[in-house]
């Protein structure tokens, strides 16, 4: 399984902070994103932002990165700390 | 030293810790505060959300990059999370080095990367009591460009 | 605020004064210390001579230049003169601004110009009790170049 | 009259911190410097440094600057504060 996390306005819009997906059906970040967008129109729109950031196992990554079982994938909007 | 905490921090204590190392000739500090106005709105409070499992790791990686680029004696990064009030301190970055050039560059580099790579998100409450997530500033993204030319 | 004084200064008091102005979102401070080693020599003390009639005028002019180049809310420069001991504070430059870029640039600019334009001279005493005037560093002169390109 | 000041190692080497010169005979900094160097070999050598700095009335200036009666001219080595 892969653990998927959402933060800040992304979490608020989706109404979900965490979910689990099957690792066989989600070999990389792009496929995972496509599968999440396929849920419905609202997910599709919310995850469409070009500025969406992704971290794999707590390190900033990108959409071409591959995934394996046990990974923690986080999606979030551009960060605004500091 | 890297700390992510809800408590306030004390400038003097952090500065004193940085200046005490042998050979230190220069200390540069940056402190970020909750402004009373942002993007034209009068602000009354600020909440900082973060990604707890990742935050310290991200900051440690940024500090490590700075240490590999400049000659640094000591470095401190403190970032607060949770509910903050007007004029509260949000973030402290302090760098001690032999000469000033290294401390200035490293301190600004750490802030520029923190602003775009560390998983913190600000939610502001305005004077009407409305809350909204703060938009990322384009200028924070472009601030990174200067470090690619060096 | 500009001060030339023999007395020590307090980082917290100076920082608190800078952060209190309305709209301040960023405070950058630089502090220069008497290093225990300089150009390979073990140092035991430092004397700072200056040109009293000119010193504050020169610092005020440098701060004015910084204010004309960047958007600054408040600026403090304190420079000590006379006899200093190992690890003593020599100089403080603090800048408050709305956004961090202005504060970082102005603080470093002020230091770079102070190092080459303000009439202070250091005389070091080494561990053998010998006193000698410190040579100007070529790198301080070349540090000015970055401000001509901007 | 023009008031001439020397600081730091320059003052130590010359053994003088202050002197007065006639403004008619010293219309600009370069002439003043030449007149001072003409005192003797030691003054000549000590004032020959290309890195010598000059301030007129407490403002950094240069060797081509003109002088008038009442001016305060200061010569000093490269500054080393901060």
Domain count within chain A = 1
Chain B residues whose beta carbon lies within 8 Å of the beta carbon of residue A7: 49, 51, 119, 121
Q: Is residue D82 part of a domain?
A: no
Q: What percent of chain A has pLDDT over 90?
A: 98
CA distances from D11 to D6, D20, D72, D76 (A): 5, 15, 16, 8
pLDDT at C21 > cutoff 90: no
The total number of structural domains that make up chain B: 1
Contact A58 B58 (CB under 8 A): yes
Q: Which residues numbered 6-65 in B keep a CB inside 8 Å of some CB on C?
A: 10-12, 15-16, 19-20, 22-33, 35-37
**C75, part of any domain:** yes
Q: What would the pLDDT profile of A19-68 be if each residue is shown by its tens digit?
A: 999 999 999 999 999 999 999 999 999 999 889 999 999 999 999 999 99
Residue B51 domain-assigned (yes or no): yes
Find the mean pLDDT for residues D41-58: 96
Write the ipTM. 0.95
| Residue A82 resides in a domain | no
Domain of B104 in residue numbering reads as 2-144
Higher-confidence residue of C133 and B40: namely C133
> Do C79 and C91 touch, CB atoms closer than 8 A?
yes
Question: Do at least 3 CB pairs under 8 Å connect C with D?
Answer: yes
Q: Is B68 on the interface with C (CB under 8 A)?
A: no
Taking the C-alpha atoms of residue B118 and residue B96, their distance in angstroms, rounded to an integer, is 22
Tokens of B12: 């003097």
CATH label of the domain that carries residue D13: 3.10.20.30
Minimal CA–CA distance to A13: which of B50, B82, B132, B52? B132
pLDDT at C94: 98
User: Does position B42 have pLDDT exceeding 90, yes or no?
Assistant: no
Residue D7 lies in a domain: yes
Q: A81 lies in a domain?
A: no
Interface test with B, best of C10, C19, C27 (most B CBs within 10 A): C27
- Collect all residues of chain D within an 8 Å Cβ-Cβ radius of residue C111: 82
Residue C40 pLDDT: 74
Q: Identify the CATH number of the domain in which residue C101 sits.
A: 3.90.1170.40
- Residue D39: beta bridge partners? none
Cβ atoms < 10 Å from Cβ of B7: 9
Domain that holds residue A29: 2-76
Instruction: Look at residue A3 and tell me whether its pLDDT is greater than 80.
Output: yes
Closest Cα in chain B, distance from residue A4 (Å): 13
Mean pLDDT of chain C: 95
* Contacts for C34 with CB less than 8 Å, ≥ 6 apart: C43, C46, C84, C85, C86, C87, C88, C90
Q: Assess whether chains A and D touch, using the rule of 3 or more C-beta pairs within 8 angstroms.
A: no
Whole-number average pLDDT of chain B: 95
């Amino acid at each position: 399984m892969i653990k998927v996390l959402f933060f800040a306005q992304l979490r608020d819009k989706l109404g979900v902070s965490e979910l689990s997906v099957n690792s066989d059906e989600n070999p990389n970040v792009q496929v995972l994103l496509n599968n999440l967008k396929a849920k419905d129109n609202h997910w599709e729109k919310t995850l469409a932002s070009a500025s969406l950031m992704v971290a794999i196992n707590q390190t900033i990554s990108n959409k071409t990165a591959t995934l394996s079982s046990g990974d923690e994938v986080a999606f979030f909007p551009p960060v605004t700390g500091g | 030293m890297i700390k992510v905490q809800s408590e306030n921090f004390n400038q003097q204590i952090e500065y004193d810790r940085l200046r005490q190392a042998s050979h230190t000739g220069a200390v540069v500090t940056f402190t970020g505060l909750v402004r009373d106005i942002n993007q034209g709105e009068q602000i009354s409070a600020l909440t900082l959300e973060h990604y707890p499992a990742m935050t310290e790791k991200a900051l440690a990686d940024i500090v490590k990059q700075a240490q590999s680029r400049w000659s640094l004696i000591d470095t401190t990064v403190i970032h607060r999370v949770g509910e903050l009030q007007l004029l509260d301190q949000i973030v402290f970055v302090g760098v001690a080095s032999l000469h000033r050039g290294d401390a200035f560059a490293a301190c600004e580099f750490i802030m520029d990367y923190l602003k775009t790579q560390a998983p913190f998100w600000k939610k502001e409450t305005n004077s009407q009591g409305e809350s909204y997530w703060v938009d990322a500033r384009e200028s924070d993204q472009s601030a990174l460009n200067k470090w690619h030319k060096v």
